Amino acid sequence: MTYSLIQLAPGAYDLLLEGEIMGSVVRTGTGNKNTFWTAELLEDRPQGKWPAPFREIEHSFPNLDALCEWLGNPPVKSNFGRSNA
């Protein structure tokens, strides 16, 4: 399975699996000591329907690098700062 992240704003990403939005990745907290990153599936699916490596609806990590490693080091694209207006 191939994941990718699309940055929407600082600390906020769409989580895509095979090109379809499956969830989100967000930063919570301020400063280095109380900041963590969470990968969350959008839908509350039955446990047997969660894509790997998810074992829960949410997984938290101490930094974005650890989260990305857990997802298999997906490509990260940025839409931050772009506008259709």
Tell me the residue length of the chain. Answer: 85
Question: In the chain, where are the structural domains located?
Answer: 3-78
| Integer Cα distance of 69 and 47 in angstroms | 22
pLDDT at residue number 2: 92
pLDDT at residue number 44: 75
For 40, list phi and psi in degrees, rounded to 5.
-135, 135
Per-residue pLDDT of the chain (85 residues; tens, 9 = 90+): 699 999 999 999 999 999 999 999 999 987 667 899 999 999 877 778 899 999 999 999 999 999 999 999 999 998 766 544 4
pLDDT at residue number 8: 94
For 68, list phi and psi in degrees, rounded to 5.
-65, -40
pTM score, two decimals?
0.85
For the chain, the straight-line distance linking the first and the last C-alpha, in angstroms and rounded, comes to: 34
pLDDT at residue number 28: 94
